[in-house]
Structure 1
C-alpha cells in the first residue's frame, strides 16, 4: 500500500479561492490590469487557469483582511513581471522589517525548498481590487 492509498488528499488538486465583494469590479481588474480572463463562470464565481493550475474569484459578503499572501504566482522573470504590471497600474507593497526588505517592490529571500533546486527566491506583493494580497516569486538557482 502506497502513501497515496492511505491519504486521498495526496492526490488532490489544489485550487485557490479568493473572495470578491464586487465580482464585476474584480473581473475588470483581473482582465484590464493583470491580463487574465476567466475560462469559465457560474453565478457568483469566475474560474481562471494559469499554466495548468486554477483559482476562483467568488462573490462574498466578507472582506479579505489582506494581512497575508492569499495566492502566489511563480514567474520566470520577476523583474519583467513587476515592470509589466507597474505599467498596467499595479502598486507593489514595500516592506522594511528586520531581515526582510523590498527594493523597488522586490525582496531577496534567503533559502528555498530543496526540492525546487533553488538557493533562494525573489518575491513581490500587490493587492487586487478586492484587497486580496497576491504574491509573485522567482526561484533563484
Structure 2
C-alpha cells in the first residue's frame, strides 16, 4: 500500500507540545488555574486531554518565547470561560496588533475560516506558568 504525498499527514492526529522549565510548577498551574489533571505521565512529561484532543507539557531546558499563540481552545461562551479562569487567578493579556485590539482583555476579530461557517471570532490570551501563550476563542456566527 503506497501513500500519496499529500495525504500522509492528513490522516494523522495533531497534538501540541508545550515546554516547561519546571514541570511540577506547570502541573500545579494546569490543575489550580485551568482545572486540568494529566491523564497520563512519563518521566519528563504530562499528557492532557481536552475535547477529544491531546496536548503534552514536557520538561525542557529551553524557554518559550511567548510571542505567539502556542495552543488554543475553542469554546461556546468566551465570557463565562474568561470569568471562571479569572476567578482561579488566570491573568489575561492585552493584545494590540494590526487587525485587532483587546478591549477588557477580549478581542473582536473579523473573518474566520469559511469552512467553520463563522464570520469572525472573539478571543482572549493568557500565559501559563512557563510563559507559553495560550488562547481561547469563540466563533461568531
Question: What is the TM-score of this pair, normalised by structure 2?
Answer: 0.95
Q: Does 1:62 align with 2:62?
A: yes
Question: For residues 70 and 95 of structure 2, what CA distance do their matches in structure 1 show?
Answer: 17
- 1:1-141 equivalences in 2 (<5 Å): 5-6=3-4, 7-141=7-141
Q: Which has the higher helix share?
A: 1
Tell me the SS of whatever aligns to 2:118.
coil
Displacement of 1:98 after TM fit?
A: 4.2
Unaligned runs of 5+ in 1: none
> May I ask how many residue pairs the two structures share in their alignment?
138
Question: For residues 133 and 97 of structure 2, what CA distance do their matches in structure 1 show?
Answer: 18
Tell me the SS of whatever aligns to 2:36.
coil
Q: Deviations over 1:39-60 (max 9, x none)?
A: 0000000000001000000000
Q: Deviations over 1:90-131 (max 9, x none)?
A: 111112344311111100000000110100000100000000
Tell me the SS of whatever aligns to 1:54.
strand
Question: For residues 98 and 55 of structure 1, what CA distance do their matches in structure 2 show?
Answer: 29
Question: For residues 118 and 33 of structure 2, what CA distance do their matches in structure 1 show?
Answer: 30
Question: What is the TM-score of this pair, normalised by structure 1?
Answer: 0.95
Stretches (4+) displaced over 4 A: none
Aligned-residue CA RMSD (Å): 1.2
Question: For residues 128 and 97 of structure 2, what CA distance do their matches in structure 1 show?
Answer: 23
Tell me the SS of whatever aligns to 2:10.
helix
Question: For residues 11 and 77 of structure 1, what CA distance do their matches in structure 2 show?
Answer: 30
